[in-house]
Structure 1
Amino acid sequence: MMIYISCAKTMTAHSKQKVPFTTQPFFLNEAKQNVMDISQFSSEELGRLLKINSKLAADNYFRYHNFFSDDNEGLPAILSYTGMVFKRLAVKDFSDDDFRYAQEHLFITSFLYGLLRPLDVIKNYRLEGDVKLPERGNISMFDYWKPVLTDFFIAEIKKQGGVLINLASNEMKELFDWKRVCREVRVITPDFQVYKNGKLSTVVIYAKMCRGEMTRFILKNRIENPEQIKSFEWEGFCYNENESSGDHWVFTMG
């Protein structure tokens, strides 16, 4: 069984967390080329491209221009991202065996690196899927990665039993030929919703927290049978059979 989650916009370059080993990203050469292409933009152009303010633009201009510096050593991906999913994944208490298991069963999407394993060493960056680079023929990063990642993604899922637990945000499907993925492997999509005025709705912050907590639950408990995921409970969220359909598994609170 394979899990995949989304990257985060917020990152850190420092961590005291120890990991048993590190690896290189599968698509490091593509990432390096992306960095060289993006480095051609000025800080102002980068701000417009990424739709960020001038301070963030300046920070990321420095990140891209410092990318190949020997002083910029990078961190394992699972320690680099600091968004809510990763906060709730809470790897501070992971054992070496937890990290090893995660390395085999978890993918993290990245618009710069394509797909990452938890212990792949990466460097801080900011990039969005809808960014179009002239060197790419003005196609988006989504369209750039789709032919590169799809076969690889499917093959890796099949190596782990042919079941994908989709805990990424919806836009990440655009990194792949998603119809092919769904045809060739079983895709289970947990959905986390709350009742508001008698109707179910998604609260983004809750959804992110639950995705991180469920990822942690699967990794810590070494879950291989997807049916066991239905036992997941957190802060009142639990599996709702009546609202679920097929491989769309709904977890509700209240």
Structure 2
Amino acid sequence: MQFIIAPAKKMQVDVDTFAPETLPEHLKQTAEILTALRALTPAQRQKLWQCSDRLAAASEQQLAQLNLKGPLTPAIIAFVGIQYQAMAPDLFTESALQYIQAHLRILSGFYGALRPFDGIVPYRLEMGSRLAVGNAKNLYEFWGARLHDQLDFTQGPVINLASVEYAKAIRPFLTPDETMLDITFGRMVDGKFKTRATQAKIARGSMVRYAAMNGLTQPEQLKAFDHPHYQFSPSRSTASEMVFEYHD
């Protein structure tokens, strides 16, 4: 099986923890996106980023200095959001690092589907951003089936730990013999089963860590996910969705 996760908005440059082993597969497409992004006015970019004036100013500076040649940071270290903090890849064993390189892909609107040790640079661009690139009116249309085609369905089901925004880049291109198993982390709130974003991000990172540290190879093994609050819920789960319910 192979896991897919979303990237994080918060990124860093770290050339000390691990060295990049590979380059992103679709750097030509990334360069096209960068050109399209730089062709916008600052006001258009702020609207695209949907951020405050302070963040827009920082993002403008980042964009002006962005060089696809580096310095490069492995993707698994470059992203430092809540999910990645919970995963803590810098504390992985050597076998766990090898596991994620084979079994984990990070979906990016800027780079495509990233392997953990693909060298990347910080950027600000969400997959759902309405950025026209060439004849494509948005990033979903621009990438088309490329992200899907970067996944290895010969390993078995793709385990979807990504957000809806990023899973949407894969789902339309699934063939009848390909399976994507959705993982949902939720809890009962006022009589309704809901997903809390922050808790779910932490759980997603923790599940990747659990799989990597234990070398899991079958979706069934995920049911034993070792978490202090989330437990597998057979009654809420289906053949296409594995649900974990939060308990205090």
Runs of 4+ in 1 over 6 A off after TM superposition: none
Listed as ranges, the matches of 1:22-101 within 5 Å are 22-68=21-67, 72-101=70-99
Indicate conservation of the 8 Å contact 1:85/1:212, yes or no: yes
What is the Cα deviation at residue 192 of structure 1? 0.8
Listed as ranges, the matches of 1:232-243 within 5 Å are 232-243=225-236
1:102 aligns with one of 100, 103, 113: 100
Contiguous gaps of at least 5 residues in structure 2: none
Structure (1 or 2) with the greater helix fraction: 1
What is the Cα deviation at residue 17 of structure 1? 1.7
Query: Residue 124 of structure 1 corresponds to which residue in structure 2?
Result: 122
Indicate conservation of the 8 Å contact 2:133/2:139, yes or no: no
Distance in 1 between the 2:245 and 2:132 partners? 44
Q: Which moved more, 1:241-250 or 1:76-85?
A: 241-250
What is the Cα deviation at residue 4 of structure 1? 0.5
Residues 1:186 and 2:190 are matched in the alignment? no
What secondary structure sits across from 2:168 in the alignment? helix
Distance in 1 between the 2:84 and 2:216 partners? 19
What secondary structure sits across from 2:174 in the alignment? helix
Distance in 2 between the 1:133 and 1:179 partners? 20
- Name the aligned partner's letter for residue 231 of structure 2: C
Relative to structure 1, is the Cα distance of residues 69 and 218 closer, same or farther in structure 2, using a 3 angstrom cutoff?
closer
Distance in 2 between the 1:69 and 1:244 partners? 42
- Please give the TM-score of this superposition, normalised by the length of structure 2: 0.91
Distance in 1 between the 2:169 and 2:36 partners? 19
Indicate conservation of the 8 Å contact 2:185/2:245, yes or no: yes
Identity across matched positions, percent: 26
What is the Cα deviation at residue 69 of structure 1? 7.5
Distance in 2 between the 1:69 and 1:62 partners? 15
What is the Cα deviation at residue 15 of structure 1? 5.8
Indicate conservation of the 8 Å contact 2:132/2:138, yes or no: no
Distance in 2 between the 1:163 and 1:145 partners? 22
Q: Aligned-pair RMSD on alpha carbons? A: 1.9
What is the Cα deviation at residue 103 of structure 1? 0.7
1:174 aligns with one of 140, 153, 168: 168
- Please give the TM-score of this superposition, normalised by the length of structure 1: 0.89
1:146 aligns with one of 127, 144, 147: 144
What is the Cα deviation at residue 28 of structure 1? 1.3
Count of paired positions: 247
Relative to structure 1, is the Cα distance of residues 169 and 196 closer, same or farther in structure 2, using a 3 angstrom cutoff?
same
What is the Cα deviation at residue 196 of structure 1? 2.0
- Name the aligned partner's letter for residue 163 of structure 1: P
Indicate conservation of the 8 Å contact 1:42/1:61, yes or no: no
Indicate conservation of the 8 Å contact 1:15/1:79, yes or no: no
Query: Residue 190 of structure 2 corresponds to which residue in structure 1?
Result: 197
